[in-house]
Chain A
Amino acid sequence: MLSAHENHTNGVLERETLRTNLDRQEVRKMRFAICVALLVLALVGAVMLDGANPLAFIGIPGLVIEVLVPVFALLAVWKGSELGAACRDAFASRRDQSSPARSIRIWDFAEKACYAAGALAWLMVMVVVLVPRVPLRDPADLMRNLAVGLVAPIYAVLFALVCRILRERVKQRGGDT
């Protein structure tokens, strides 16, 4: 039988361990967020170095397609709780991961869904551009419309890159465990 003092000490130790694990998770999330921000900044910086305006790449329709289509595709296959577990597994330590194999499959599927959504969005824009309702007066307009069509695939590859990072994080079991 453990004495009251030993029970108290064990309880304090457990709480300390839990707090340390939570702190580590926060650090991992923070590092991931900083790296994704740096990733976007590197690309924005490259565009600015080229003397172009990065705001030209903000396309709400492309963003909506790129976010919603993979999310709905994921929800069609897995439950919300399983998707939540996949997100948690990407930042949890080896011991705290609930189902790493399933999480890897989920992030793999998400990456492929991003590519599919990007291709779909590009094809949709091509149909709209190449079948104009009014005759084109300036061929430069056609170029601009084609450029708009490329915004969705850019989002697609970026999101796929993020999904790949998350999958690799799950695979490496929290990265720094």
Chain B
Amino acid sequence: MGRLMFFLELSGVAYGLAFAAAWSKVPPRLALVPLCAALLVPNICALAVWPLRKLLRAFRDGWESNPFRKPAPSSIEVWKFLERVTPLSGIVAFLLFLALALMEGLSGSHAAVAGLCAAEAAAVFLVFQAVRGTVESLARRDHEVPRFDLSRDRLRDYSISPRESDVAELLVSGLRYGEIAQRLFISVKTVKTHVHRLYEKTGARNRMELANALRA
């Protein structure tokens, strides 16, 4: 998500700069035109290939913050398609407005809109590329955490509750608090409480000592 946000910010800056450069030439209502070319056209093309529910799933997967949720295989295809189609829609829009500019003797407004179309398409392309990369890396990620077997006897000896044992298992497997929280559908604060109790009950000071205390 960090890389994605970076690209989003980058594209926002690129668009802002392009718009600021063209501001004197472009009436505000024309800001909608490049958006139409760069966002609307690729999405309409995707709608011609996939049903709406798969597109919505792809968008959900693209912005998924839970690293343990495996994206659908169609989501990667959707983002790849959007990535490939965006430059084409940008080229069509650029050519359209360049032709208009030439027809009216290289009119400033049309030429500026043509430039904005190209800039916006490039920015949206970068965003789609980043989202595709994120979805692909999520799909490649091993969603199964290596299992660490805890000793049932020791758990009973330390009177560790079933939920604490779930947290202990993920903790000694090397997951971070946030990842444990996402996997067990609880808050990070609750994870910290469970970890505090685990350390208290076992007398461990870190996850290494906890692993040694609870090893099967």
**Is A67 positioned at the interface, with any CB of B under 8 Å from its CB?**
no
**Is A47 positioned at the interface, with any CB of B under 8 Å from its CB?**
yes
Measured CA separation A39–B126 after assembly (Å):
22
Bits for B85-102, please: 1 = Cβ < 8 Å to A, else 0: 100110111011111101
B92 interface neighbour in A35, A50, A158, Cβ under 8 Å = A158
Measured CA separation A172–B55 after assembly (Å):
13
Q: Which residues of A contact B37 (CB under 8 A)?
A: 42-43, 46
**Inter-chain contact total with CB atoms closer than 8 Å:** 110
Bits for A45-62, please: 1 = Cβ < 8 Å to B, else 0: 111011010001100000
Min Cβ gap B57→A in Å is: 12
A42 interface neighbour in B36, B84, B91, Cβ under 8 Å = B36
Min Cβ gap A120→B in Å is: 16
Is B48 within 8 A of A154, CB to CB? no
Is A32 within 8 A of B48, CB to CB? yes
Measured CA separation A150–B106 after assembly (Å):
14
User: Contacts A39-B44, A46-B93, A172-B77 given: A151-B99 contact, CB under 8 Å?
Assistant: yes
Bits for B149-173, please: 1 = Cβ < 8 Å to A, else 0: 0000000000000000000000000
Residues of B within 8 A of A (CB): 29-30, 32-33, 36-37, 40-41, 44-45, 47-51, 54, 74, 77, 81, 84-85, 88-89, 91-93, 95-100, 102-103, 105-106, 109-110, 113
